[in-house]
Structure 1
Amino acid sequence: MNKAFTKEDDGSAGPQRLDDLPISPHPNHVTPNGLAQLHARAEALETEIARLRAMGEDAEALYPLAVAERDLRYVEARLASAILIEPPEGDYPRVQFGAVVDVLDEDGRPARYTIVGEDEADPAKGLIAAPSPLARALLEAETGDVVEWPRPNGMVELEIVAIRKA
């Protein structure tokens, strides 16, 4: 093969572009708080990118710059596809996106979940992504209903005891 058609590594690090992060196939529903978090994350990433670019061709800045640029592309795509779901004017008649849901499990242990968008989800804080099995089990249920939540170790019944705004 003619050398003109091959690319040789000259040893320079140069800027790199990381593959984009996967985007969920689900509709990108967001709460007002989730939308604010996406905007704040975009601003923080833009600031970080500017800081890293100011370092020039410093080899230690190249990979973090590529990561920040990739993350910003993801956040910008999520902002572009965001569908803001405002809470209803009155009370929630049933579990809907954005609702805070108080439940009791089969043993009477209480738990509280808020149905949010995927980027806002944080299960440790009770923020559950709408496409998750738990959220799907809760959605459309009313106070007093018992729903079945499929888990890897078996089905769990949850009684809805309250539904309210965040």
Structure 2
Amino acid sequence: MPNPNYITPEGARRLSEELGRLRSVDRPRIVQEVADAAAQGDRSENAEYIYGKKKLREIDRRMHYLTKRLESAVVVDPKEQKGDKVFFGAAIEVEDEDGKRHTYRIVGEDEIDSKTGRISWKSPVGRALLGKAPGDVVTVRRPAGDIEMEIVSVKYT
């Protein structure tokens, strides 16, 4: 597998729930709206019909994407990880050059959320942290300039 799609159990559950909602709630509702709009007559100038068809295509595209992502997913449970090295699913506390502490969690590409510190294992920070242990100093290359961070702690929860 040249490009694995690692994901946490929580991330896989969220993607499955979104797919289920699209399939059983959103898509049937839009199909009904399109059918109602089509019943009004001339479809070429019917904005509700045109918009509904566009929304239906967007839902179908998202459902296809989610299906493919879930089919290729490799679920990795952070609770099964042991040790103090940084691997997928780890929660890492780091201290930057200015003494500020940040907490990151290494997750899959479909789970990133910068507001909560959930970063992809493929991101520059994620790649720099992988395989390191508390006390290690890593250098992260970024457009604003390189920054050094020391790993303070590694937890798997």
Instruction: Decide which structure has greater helix share.
Output: 2
Counterpart of 2:15?
A: 38
Query: Which of the residues 93, 107, 111 maps onto 1:116?
Result: 107
Instruction: Tell me the SS of whatever aligns to 1:154.
Output: coil
Matched residue type, 2:21: A
Counterpart of 1:20?
A: none
Question: Could you tell which deviates more after superposition, 147-156 or 98-107?
Answer: 147-156
- 8 Å contact 1:104–1:160 — kept in the other structure? yes
Identify if the C-alpha distance between structure 1 residues 90 and 77 changes in structure 2 by more than 3 Å, giving closer, same or farther: closer
Which stretches in structure 1 are left out of the alignment for 5+ residues? 1-24
Counterpart of 2:45?
A: none
* 1:143 is aligned to 2:134: yes
Counterpart mapping for 1:4-83 below 5 A? 26-46=3-23, 47-55=25-33, 56=35, 57=38, 58-83=49-74
Instruction: Tell me the SS of whatever aligns to 1:135.
Output: helix
- Taking every aligned residue pair, what percent have the same amino acid on both sides? 38
Aligned residues: 142
Per the normalisation by structure 2, the TM-score is 0.85
Question: Could you tell which deviates more after superposition, 69-78 or 122-131?
Answer: 122-131
CA distance in structure 2 between the partners assigned to 1:129 and 1:151 by the alignment: 15
How far is 1:148 from its partner?
A: 0.7
CA distance in structure 2 between the partners assigned to 1:145 and 1:135 by the alignment: 14
Q: How large is the Cα RMSD of the aligned pairs?
A: 1.5
- 8 Å contact 2:91–2:156 — kept in the other structure? yes
- 8 Å contact 1:30–1:117 — kept in the other structure? yes
